[in-house]
Amino acid sequence: MQLIDGKATAAAIKAEIAEEVKRIMEAGGKQPHLAAVLVGHDGGSETYVKNKVIACEQCGFKSTLIRYEEDVTEDELLACVDRLNKDKDIDGFIVQLPLPKQIDEQKIIMAIDYRKDVDGFHPINVGRMAIGLPCFISATPLGILTLLQH
């Protein structure tokens, strides 16, 4: 049995991405920009999003964290998703789940432009993945596959 060092693999991949971002920017390209929307103060969600911000820094990405309190309305959250969909500087974003009970998670997922759906939860991304077309893929299964391939 071979042990896989996930931390070492992740560090190597982040270094490769950072080099690619550096080359893109030196050639006059745009710095990638990831946004995260965090609602409330769930400990696990806080840690996950904090790690995304750190990973962005390590890879040379710009990151934006948008925070809402637990009492945010569905309309406010949908308006935020709409702004992020339309923001040409934002290349992709996540709306961290779970969301408070007054928010319909499926409604939020469906409102995200599938081309910016970094979580890969939008049905168009799921369908594209199923038939082998380019798309965003959910982080956990992609991470497992990447570890095995690396």
Mean pLDDT computed over every residue of the chain:
94
Residue 107 has pLDDT above 90, yes or no: yes
Give alpha helix (H) positions in 1-150: 6-26, 43-59, 74-86, 105-111, 123-130, 139-149
Please tell me the predicted confidence (pLDDT) of residue 83: 98
Contacts for 118-124: CB closer than 8 Å, 24+ residues apart: 118/34, 118/92, 118/93, 118/94, 119/94, 119/95
Q: Give the least confident one: 48-52, 56-60, 72-76, 142-146.
A: 142-146
Please tell me the predicted confidence (pLDDT) of residue 72: 98
Strand partners, 95: 37
Residue 79 neighbours by CB under 8 Å, 6+ apart: none
Residue 92 phi, psi (nearest 5): -165, 160
For residue 25 the two structure tokens come to 């920017």
Q: Smallest Cα–Cα separation from 112: which of 132, 87, 146?
A: 87
In the chain, the percentage of residues whose pLDDT exceeds 90 is 84
State the distance between the two ends of the chain, measured CA to CA, in whole angstroms.
16
Question: Which residues are tagged catalytic?
Answer: 52, 96, 119
pLDDT in tens, 6-45: 899 999 999 999 999 999 999 999 999 999 999 999 999 9
pTM, full prediction: 0.90
Please tell me the predicted confidence (pLDDT) of residue 25: 97
Mean pLDDT of 126-139: 90
Is the four-CA dihedral 68, 70, 75, 81 of positive or negative sign?
Answer: positive
